[in-house]
Structure 1
Amino acid sequence: MEPVVNREKLLELLALEVEYSTLDFKSRLDLGDKRDVVELAKDIGAMSMRGGYLVIGVDGHGKPTGELTAEQAARFDEAQLRPKLLKWLPDELKIASQVHELDGRQVVLLQVSPHPAGCAFFRADGQYDGGGKTSKVVFREGEVFFRDGTQSVRLDQRGLEQVIRQRVERERGEWENQHAQSYRRLADELRTGAAGQRVARGPAVEFNLALEPEVLIEAAIELLRADDDIPLRRLLGRAVPESRTRFTAEDQEGLSGILNRLAGLAVTFLELDRSEWAARVVDTLVSIYELGFENVPPIYNDPPPRSAALWLAIVERVVALGAFAVRIENWEAVRYIASRRPEGMDKVYKTWLRHASTMAARAELYPPREVDAVGILLSLAREVVRQVGPLRPDAGPDDDKILTSLARFDFLAALVSLADSGNGLYPHFARFDGARVEPVVQRLLQDSGMRTTIYPGDDRHLAAALREINSSAQQVAFLHGGWDGYPAEVNAFIARHGDDER
C-alpha cells in the first residue's frame, strides 16, 4: 500500500471495477456532515489493520457519479482531514489524499497506511444525531474495527486472528532482519575479496541456492573475478531439479526464493556486462517454466492453478529483469528476454510473456474483471522489484523509474513479438501515463543500433507495427485511461511510411 494518490494510481484502482477489503468506493461524502465524518473514521479505522484506499465520488463499479461537489472535495485536503480524524483515531494515523477531476466530475483518492501496532483502537465514541432524542453510536472508545470483505465491522475471532497473523509476520521479518546482519557481514567480507577467494578456491558445493541472495551475488562476483565458472555452471544445473522438488511439493515460498536468486544473478551479470551469463540464467528460467507443462495436455483452456502460478511467478521476475535491461539500455538483452518461447506452449503463443499472462487470467490469479487484466502484470512485477533488492541495484524500492522501465520493456517486448511472429502482446503499458513510454519510442526512431536490435524490419513494417500497438493501447485506454497516443514525431513517421503499406 504505497502512499501514492496521483491520477495514475486512481485510474489503476478504478479499472478494477469492484471493491476489495483494501479498496472502498463511495458515491459521495460530505465532511461538513458529522454523520459522514464519523462513518469515514470507522472505515479508516478498519483499514488501518492492513492499509487500503478509499475512492470518493464513484459508484460501486468505479464510475464517477458527479455527486461530489468541488467544495466537498476540497475538504479532503490532508491538512484539514487529519485533525478531524484524530478526534477518534490514534496519533500514528497516516493518510494521504488528492482531489482529481475525471470527465468534469470530482473524485478524491484517499490512502490509509497500516497502523504499526496491527490495528487501531478508537480513542473516543463515534456518534451523531440520529434524529429524535437519541444519538446513533457507530463505535465506542476502545473498540477495534476491521475489513470483513468490503464491510467495516467490529473485531471478531477472524479479525483477531488476522491481527495476530500480521503481528507474527512483522515480528518474524524483524527477527530475520536482525539475523541478516551476520549475512551482511559475510557479504562485506566478500566485497573485500577474502571470503570470495575462499568460495572460489573451496568446494563448488559451497556455492548454492541456499545462500542468502546478497551473499550469493557477491560470491558470484568473486567467482567471475577469479575466472572460475565451474561453481556457476553447477548452480544453474541444479536450479531446475531443485525447482522441480519445490514445485511438486507446492512449496511456493521456496520456489519464489529460487526464482528471486536467479533473477538477482541475471541482473548482476547484466550490470557487470556479462551478457552470456545473464542469458544462461534466462535459459535456466525457461527450463523451470517448462516444469509447468509436465502432465498438462498440449491444448488446455483451463490450466492447472499451480502451473499458472509458476508461469506467472517466473514472468513477474522476467519482466523485472527486462526493465533493468531497459534502464541500462542493453537492447540485446531486452530482445533476448522478451522473445523466449519455452517448449510445451501451444503454438498460438509466441512468447512466454503472452502465455503466462493469459494462463494467469484463465486460472483467475488476477482480480475478477470484465476484461483482461491489462496492467496488472506490471503492477505485480513492480511489487517483486520492491521486495527483492538485487533486482534494483540502481534504485530504491519506491523509485518511480522502476515503473517507467517496466512500461517501456512491455512496449518494446510487443515490438519484438510483432517483428518475430507478427503477433503482438497485451498492452499492459497502456494502463499507465503515456509519458512513461514516449521517450523510448522516440529513441527507437533515432538510434539505429537500438532499432536494428529491437525491430530489424524496414520502415514500412515498423510503421505498421507501431500503428497496431497504438490501436490496441487506445482500446485499453478507452476502458481504463492512461495511454493517449504517440507524440507528434512518431505519428509523422507512421504517416510518412504508412502510405507504402499494401
Structure 2
Amino acid sequence: MIVPDGRTNLEKLKELLGNPEQTHLDLKASVDLTNAADKLKFVKDAVTMASRPEGGYILIGVDDAGAPCLPVGTIADRARFDGSRVGALIRSFVEAAVHVVVEIHELANHEIVVIYVRNPDGLPVPFNRDGQHPGRSAGDKDVTVFRKGEIFVREGAENVPIRYAHWADLLATYTRGIRDQSTEAALSMLREVLTGRDGAAGDAGVPLLAGMDETTFAATAARLLEIGNDVRLRQYLRTVSRSTGASVDLATYADALNRWAIFCAQTLYFERPDLTDEAIGKLVESYQGLGISTDDNQRRLMIVERIYVVGSLAVRLGEWETVRSLALRPVPGNSYETDYIYSSWIRAAQVYASRAGLTEDPRGDYLLSAARELMVEHPAMRPDLTDTAVPPEEATSSDPALNSLCEFDLAYCIVVAALGTDRGAGYPSSAAFDEDRAKPVAQKIVKDPEMRHRLLPDVDDPAVADALFRTYEQAIRQSATSSYGTRWWAMPPSVDAFVGRHRRPAV
C-alpha cells in the first residue's frame, strides 16, 4: 500500500520502487514533454491522480515491474521537469490549483523523476479545455486525449471516467472538512473556556469526549492532567472498548483510535505513564476481539500505526517502561484461534495485514511511513514536536519523527527477542531505512544500565546481548532483500563490543 504523504526525496523513492502500479502510484518508462502526445497523456495522468483526495505519485524512468529503466543522461533537458513548469503545464488545463512537487534522483546509474500531485481542495478535477494533438501524418484528424468537462479518477492501475460509485469515496475528505467547520464555532468557544481557566471551580465539570475535535480533545486532556482530575480521564478510558469495537465502521474506528493516540501522547507528555498504560490495556481488550475479516485486518493495521506513533513519543521522552508496554502485549492471532498466541500484538497485526495485502511492499517500510504521516496530520499526537520539525514533504537524516519511529521499531524487536515467551519474533520494519536512524536506541541500551533495566527488567546482560545480536542479524538480512533500499551492514561498534563481551557462545 502506497502512502501519498507528499515526500519526494530519495528515501521516499526507495519506498516506492518495486511496487506495481496502483491507485496512488503511476509508473512510466519515459515521458517526452516536447512531444505533444506525450505531454497531453502526462497531463491527463497527473490530473487524474490529483482527483484522488490524497493525491499520488508518478514515477518517470521506472518500468512496469517497478525497476529503474532510464540510464543517467537520458533526460536531455531536466529543466523541463522543474516543479513550477510542470505545475504550470497541468494547471493550464484545469481551474483547480493542483499542487505539484518534483524531484529528480539518480539511483544505481539510473535517473528517475518523482512527481507528487494533489488537489488541496480535496475535490475531483475536471478539465477546462480540450486536450488535442495533431495526428501522426499530415491530413490526419487531431487526436483528442481528453475533453472539456471530463473527469477521470484513478482506479487501481487505470484511469477511468468518474462514475456514481466513485463520488462517496472522492468526496469523503471534503465533506468531513465541511462537517468539522460546522462545529468549529462551538468548539472554539470551549477551547477559550479551557485555556482561560485558572483552576477555579468548574474544571471538574468538563468531560473528555471522543466526539470533540482533536484540538479541543487535546486541550481538555491537558487541562484535566494539569489539575489532576483522574476521574474525568478514566471516564474517557471506559469508553475506549466501546468506541473501538469490531462493529464500528472504519472511518469512526480511525477517529476513535486517533483520540486514543492523543490521550496516550498527552498522558506521556504530562508524565502520567500509568494512565498511558491503562489506555494501552483498554485497546488490547478491543484488539483481542478482532476476527479475520478484511475490515478487521484493516483495524489491526490502524492500531499498530498508532502504536508506533505513541511509541516514538515514548522514545523521545525516555519513557522506556511505556516502550516495553507497547511492544510486549501477547495476543491471540484472532478471536477464533485463541490458542495461537503472538508475543506482540504488533507482529500479529503485521502478519494479518500482510496476508490481506494491506501492506503490499516487500521491504516492509509502509508501517513507518504511515505512522509518520499520522504525525504530520495530527499535531496533538506529537506534543513535543512543532510542525516545522515534522515537514510533510521531506524527511531529512535528522528528522525526529522518522528517527524516533525507527528507534521504537528496533526497541520493540529487542524487547520481544529478550522477553517474548510466545510465538512470533519482532519484525524490523526500520531495516528499510538508513541504519543510522534506528541505532541510537541500541547504543543507549549498551551504554546506560539504568535505561537497559527499565526497558528489559530482570534480563541479564548475556540475554540482552543475544537479543541485540538476533535482532540485528534479522535486520541486516531483511535490508539485503531490497535492491534499492538502504543496507544495514553491521551492529554499531559499541553494540558489537557489548555483544562480544556478554553473549554466550552458541552450543
Q: TM-score range by the shorter chain?
A: 0.7 to 0.9
Residues 1:386 and 2:365 aligned together: no
Task: Please name the residue that 1:193 is paired with.
Answer: 197
Task: Please name the residue that 1:437 is paired with.
Answer: 438
Looking at structure 2, the residues matched to 498 and 275 of structure 1 have their Cα atoms a distance apart, in angstroms, of 32
Out of 260, 263, 266, the position equivalent to 1:265 is 263
One-letter amino acid of the structure 2 residue matched with residue 131 of structure 1: S
Out of 469, 473, 476, the position equivalent to 1:474 is 476
Task: Please name the residue that 1:136 is paired with.
Answer: 143
Aligned to 1:437, what secondary structure does the other structure show? helix
- Structure 1 unpaired stretches of 5+: 297-302
Residues 1:233 and 2:234 aligned together: yes
Measured after TM superposition, the shift of residue 388 of structure 1 is: 3.3
What aligned pairs does 1:391-410 form with structure 2 within 5 A after superposition? 391-396=381-386, 398-399=390-391, 400-410=399-409
One-letter amino acid of the structure 1 residue matched with residue 441 of structure 2: V
Looking at structure 2, the residues matched to 396 and 227 of structure 1 have their Cα atoms a distance apart, in angstroms, of 26
Looking at structure 1, the residues matched to 75 and 251 of structure 2 have their Cα atoms a distance apart, in angstroms, of 49
* Identity score, percent: 27
Residues 1:334 and 2:323 aligned together: yes
One-letter amino acid of the structure 1 residue matched with residue 447 of structure 2: Q
Out of 363, 366, 372, the position equivalent to 1:376 is 366
Looking at structure 1, the residues matched to 171 and 186 of structure 2 have their Cα atoms a distance apart, in angstroms, of 24
Looking at structure 1, the residues matched to 43 and 411 of structure 2 have their Cα atoms a distance apart, in angstroms, of 45
Aligned to 2:257, what secondary structure does the other structure show? helix
Q: Which has the higher helix share?
A: 1
Higher relative contact order (CA 8 A, sep 6+): 2
Measured after TM superposition, the shift of residue 407 of structure 1 is: 1.6
CA distance 1:130–1:498, shift in 2 (3 Å) = farther
Task: State whether residues 105 and 112 of structure 2, in contact with CA within 8 Å, keep that contact through their aligned partners in structure 1.
Answer: yes
What aligned pairs does 1:58-77 form with structure 2 within 5 A after superposition? 58-66=62-70, 69-72=73-76, 74=78, 75-77=80-82
The more displaced of 474-483 and 42-51 is: 474-483
What aligned pairs does 1:40-51 form with structure 2 within 5 A after superposition? 40-50=42-52, 51=55
Task: State whether residues 49 and 115 of structure 1, in contact with CA within 8 Å, keep that contact through their aligned partners in structure 2.
Answer: no
Task: Please name the residue that 1:119 is paired with.
Answer: 125
Measured after TM superposition, the shift of residue 23 of structure 1 is: 0.7
TM-score by length of 2: 0.84
Task: Please name the residue that 1:300 is paired with.
Answer: none
* Deviation sequence 1:202-236 (CA, Å, 0-9, x none): 4x9x5544444444444444444444433333332
Measured after TM superposition, the shift of residue 328 of structure 1 is: 1.5
The more displaced of 132-141 and 275-284 is: 132-141
* Deviation sequence 1:214-261 (CA, Å, 0-9, x none): 4444444444444443333333234324544xx33x433333333222
CA distance 1:492–1:108, shift in 2 (3 Å) = same
CA distance 1:93–1:288, shift in 2 (3 Å) = closer
- Structure 2 unpaired stretches of 5+: 392-398
Looking at structure 2, the residues matched to 305 and 156 of structure 1 have their Cα atoms a distance apart, in angstroms, of 26
Task: Please name the residue that 2:396 is paired with.
Answer: none
Alignment: residue pair count: 480
Measured after TM superposition, the shift of residue 150 of structure 1 is: 1.8
Task: State whether residues 45 and 122 of structure 1, in contact with CA within 8 Å, keep that contact through their aligned partners in structure 2.
Answer: no
Aligned to 1:71, what secondary structure does the other structure show? coil
One-letter amino acid of the structure 2 residue matched with residue 441 of structure 1: A
One-letter amino acid of the structure 2 residue matched with residue 48 of structure 1: A
Measured after TM superposition, the shift of residue 335 of structure 1 is: 1.4
Residues 1:157 and 2:141 aligned together: no
Measured after TM superposition, the shift of residue 455 of structure 1 is: 4.1
One-letter amino acid of the structure 1 residue matched with residue 190 of structure 2: L
Residues 1:2 and 2:5 aligned together: yes
CA distance 1:479–1:31, shift in 2 (3 Å) = farther
Task: State whether residues 326 and 334 of structure 1, in contact with CA within 8 Å, keep that contact through their aligned partners in structure 2.
Answer: yes
CA distance 1:128–1:449, shift in 2 (3 Å) = farther
Aligned to 1:291, what secondary structure does the other structure show? coil
Cα RMSD (Å): 3.1
Measured after TM superposition, the shift of residue 39 of structure 1 is: 1.9
Measured after TM superposition, the shift of residue 86 of structure 1 is: 5.0
* Deviation sequence 1:362-403 (CA, Å, 0-9, x none): 233334x6x4x7122223323333343321222356444222
Out of 265, 275, 278, the position equivalent to 1:277 is 275
Looking at structure 2, the residues matched to 167 and 310 of structure 1 have their Cα atoms a distance apart, in angstroms, of 22
Aligned to 1:479, what secondary structure does the other structure show? coil
CA distance 1:216–1:97, shift in 2 (3 Å) = closer
Task: Please name the residue that 2:448 is paired with.
Answer: 447
One-letter amino acid of the structure 2 residue matched with residue 257 of structure 1: D
CA distance 1:195–1:184, shift in 2 (3 Å) = farther
Task: Please name the residue that 2:113 is paired with.
Answer: 108
Out of 272, 297, 304, the position equivalent to 1:308 is 297
Residues 1:414 and 2:413 aligned together: yes
Looking at structure 2, the residues matched to 433 and 149 of structure 1 have their Cα atoms a distance apart, in angstroms, of 30
TM-score by length of 1: 0.84
Out of 344, 351, 355, the position equivalent to 1:351 is 344
Aligned to 1:186, what secondary structure does the other structure show? helix
Measured after TM superposition, the shift of residue 191 of structure 1 is: 2.7
Looking at structure 2, the residues matched to 42 and 31 of structure 1 have their Cα atoms a distance apart, in angstroms, of 13
* Deviation sequence 1:91-115 (CA, Å, 0-9, x none): 7232111122222112221111226
Aligned to 1:121, what secondary structure does the other structure show? coil
Looking at structure 2, the residues matched to 165 and 195 of structure 1 have their Cα atoms a distance apart, in angstroms, of 44
* Deviation sequence 1:268-304 (CA, Å, 0-9, x none): 1110111111111111112222222xxx6xxxxxx23
One-letter amino acid of the structure 2 residue matched with residue 331 of structure 1: W
Looking at structure 1, the residues matched to 217 and 6 of structure 2 have their Cα atoms a distance apart, in angstroms, of 32
Task: Please name the residue that 1:99 is paired with.
Answer: 104
CA distance 1:449–1:37, shift in 2 (3 Å) = same
The more displaced of 483-492 and 130-139 is: 483-492
The more displaced of 43-52 and 78-87 is: 78-87
Out of 154, 161, 172, the position equivalent to 1:147 is 154
Out of 356, 367, 383, the position equivalent to 1:363 is 356
Aligned to 1:374, what secondary structure does the other structure show? coil
Task: Please name the residue that 1:299 is paired with.
Answer: none
CA distance 1:79–1:311, shift in 2 (3 Å) = closer
Task: State whether residues 57 and 65 of structure 1, in contact with CA within 8 Å, keep that contact through their aligned partners in structure 2.
Answer: yes
CA distance 1:279–1:66, shift in 2 (3 Å) = same
The more displaced of 379-388 and 269-278 is: 379-388
One-letter amino acid of the structure 1 residue matched with residue 132 of structure 2: G
